Amino acid sequence: MIDLTNLEHYREGNRLEAKLALGGFPHSVWETYSAFANTAGGIILLGVEERQDHSLHAVDLPAPEKLIEEFWETVSDPQRVSANLLRAEDVQLHIVEWNRIVVITVPEAPPARKPVYLGRDPLLGTYRRSGEGDYRCTPAEVQAMLRAARGAR
């Protein structure tokens, strides 16, 4: 977990992603969820803006409970996300600088559960994290994860 009282000292990177989320649930969260699960895990912050100097700052989400509800509905739907790796305590509402933000802690998936992908086709919906970006995996990367999963069972 990061020290949310010093949010401005953190930067987006391999294990941290900030989403403003003021206009509703950002669809790009799912690419980040897949990417974190397929690499080393990470933390997604909803209600946090990245300023031009790359510092992070909390903004008050108008309906964080609705975002949390929408997150759980989607992550629990195997037609939309191949694996729900989370426990209840992995999705929390926090108050930072008098603003409500949502903190989602995504663990790395065990080899037997990789790849974690979006939709029904792992070749189209598998992502990995590199730096502060989420990238669609190549077919070769997906096949390597599938082989590793078979070997881990």
Query: What's the CATH superfamily of 4-152?
Result: Schlafen, AAA domain (3.30.950.30)
Per-residue pLDDT at 123: 96
Per-residue pLDDT at 153: 63
φ and ψ at residue 112, rounded to 5 degrees: -70, -15
| Pair 12, 50: CB distance under 8 Å | yes
User: Which residues of the chain carry a pLDDT beneath 50?
Assistant: none
Per-residue pLDDT at 37: 98
